[in-house]
Structure 1
Amino acid sequence: MIDIPSPAIAVVGRHNSGKTTLIERLIAELVSRGLNVGSIKHHSHRGFDIDIPGKDSYRHRAAGASETVIAAPGQVARIKTVEDEVECSELVRSMPNHDIIVVEGYRKSGLPTVEIMRSGNEADHRAAQLFVEAARKGLPLTTDFTQLGREIDRGVPAEGEFSAAADAAAKMPSTNTVAVVTDIPEAREAAEIYGIPAIGLEDVAALADFLGEHYVRPRVSVVIQAGGESRRMGQSKATVPFAGRPLICRLVERLAPVADELIITTNEAERLGFLAEQYPELDIKLVPDAYKERGALPGMYTALSSAKNPYVAVVACDMVFASPRLVVAEALAMHESGADVVAPANKHGFEPLHAMYRKDGCLEAVHARTERGEKRVQSFFDDPAVMVLPFSQDKVLEVEPRGGCFINANTPEELARIEQSYLGE
């Protein structure tokens, strides 16, 4: 199984801000949209326990077990004794394959944070006053809010509205703050001055929209380009035997674990009909070429235009060792960089047929170059509207230390050599 790292955001605020209530509603909203949501709760005090005294698992731990797993149909829980507090980043890494993880607390984890400020909470009101004071003065979010709070306190009588502002300064928005959820006008004003989205305290749908656009794991369509009969191979590459089965089966089984949608571009759908019977759970789409003219770039237009997801991984069907891990790494690089293309690159150039493409960023450029008669995929890489991120050979080897991701077979002899090497492993 290929584990896909989960993106995470932290919801933070002062005591009694309503973090748990907001998170509960947010999780329900995200799940209602079909997302797989994980959660982490930061408990600041030692000594909490989720096991029940008297139960068998509790007795195991009481007897001295440092780690106990409680397993039942549909549920598994793990209780482990650790020396120190586990870093939030480590917890997130231990929870792969979620569309998003919502973390309660962990303000200093380095995660993007959603700050909550509620008018009914006095500490939040003081924090909002301090927040807007800094914003109006043009101070950066790296400001020492504790010092600012002390300055405000010295200039205002004890009964004034800024009294005890320093108490609220320890937990303030920072450069990691990506949104403020509030019903306090001053907090909204400050957020707007700093250019941070401000969302109503009750508008959970708007918060879910924001997270969906910026932080939820983008869905990936994997497109295997199978075309049709290959002159050099003498038959269809998709159905040529490899290790006793059609080659396309190997590609499907390697790439399906990282595909939210699996597409095969082919002009011989009738010959690949067996895939629906063999892999009924995958709902494989067989799509014919959009252009009569053959070529890698027209094939790319077919791949992008047929995909329903924002990220599109395109892989040639003769890449016997196509890497699902590379697909995941390219998707992460695209998400982090905002690039329109993430393509493996070495001294010889790009590997465009094991690369990741942002549909919205590439489709128009690919269509324009195809209409001009271009055939090479790289022909649109120089479009000024398209941001291309080279994925270096070193990075590829970090993902796949054994390499071989881009080996392809164009003739029966090449395929036979690859098969012999594969069977000899």
Structure 2
Amino acid sequence: MDCFAEPVSSFVSPYRYQREYRLLERAKELGLIRKTDLSFKPLSRGDFARAIVEIYNNRQVEPSIAKKIFRELYPEFKEEIEDLLFHGKGRSYIKPVRDVFTELFSFSGTDDYKLPYAEGFKLEEGLNFRLNLSSELRYSGVLLFLEPEIRQDVLRLNRAYVTWNFKGLNFLFGRENVIWGNAESGDLLFTNNVRPWLMFKVENDSYKKFPWILEKLGEYKFSTFVSELEKERERSYAHVWGMRLAWRPFYNLEIAGTRAIQFGGEGRPNYTSLHDFWELFTANNENVWDSSPEAHYYDNNQYASVDITYYADWLGRLRFQPFKGGKFYFIHAGDDAIKPVGPGGFPLPTRAAHVLGISLTTGFTDVTFEYTETADDSGVWYTHHMYPDGFTYHKFIIGNAIRGDSKSLYCSVSHDFDWGNLKFTYNY
């Protein structure tokens, strides 16, 4: 009996496939997608295939728009759609060249510029070049993906992972990004502002119904990973433990909680026991009011957020306005926790940050407004007294690219023409 029964596929970079992800978001806002989740990115090619089939099956909602989206996405994901419809077809294969991606930028300035949400791409004075060539091998239900990269004059392995599915759970070990949430211009905790990093990740492969009598509460999805950061930092090889749990009481409403825990590294305790990880999870001994070194054994860098997303696929029924769908979303996040003085004190996140956004679509024109703030009286978002380099990977913020103690207003308008798509963005 084959334990790896479910065929798996490689992951789709949100940076390189921005157009494809935007089309899925548009379809979700219009109600053409109801089952496929878009807040646990990157999606796999199989996830894209399921979403495309769903768009086709729901084409009666917006026939002309569904046809346009389907025709644009189908050629790229044709093999995965056939895999999905004819289960087992092409189960094992080798692709010496899966994808070729290249970029060339010219930059003039005295300071290096960190290109936001570009997988850790830093622009230097003059020409900036990178070339990625990916390959993959799938045998039964196990997939090996390799992506060497030439960035400027440096050759390195950008992405490299093995992934498999077992009894409804997806496993990944290797280098990949984690992008959680529904914000358009960058979430607060995990984004693709950094290059792919080494991790072990487990998540359920789709939304699942709650068991037994809880079935009427809706569906849930979870993901968790433990990663290792780079050597070239104040505390070499620190770790990050990320977790996200999402609840969907209705098909168009998602409520989710996300945690990020930065721990370990050179000069910090090496946590190994279940008790250690329970203390990390509960944050019960974070920032205690005690000057003794022993009291700070579990003093690590923690973040937590709650996000709510509502898809308004009914907008088209309202008269005298052009939009047929949209989404509204809000994120509230806390940086670290302080344990109150006294027994039984419950640790609460402090130093709040927020994202508030709205996205609207006519099916051919998309409009987005998003406000982000990581500023408060402390001004310490993404920093920590135990981790001088902060919540970073190779000097890039793992979360929102605006960094700490900042505010941002993001606006974008895009329109589809017969010859392509034109997009204007403003970020202040």
Query: What's the TM-score bracket when you normalise by the shorter of the two chains?
Result: under 0.3
TM-score normalised over the length of structure 1: 0.26
More helix by share: 1
Structure with a larger share of its residues in strand: 2
Which structure carries more relative contact order (alpha carbon 8 Å, separation 6+)?
A: 1
- Give the TM-score taking structure 2 as reference length: 0.26
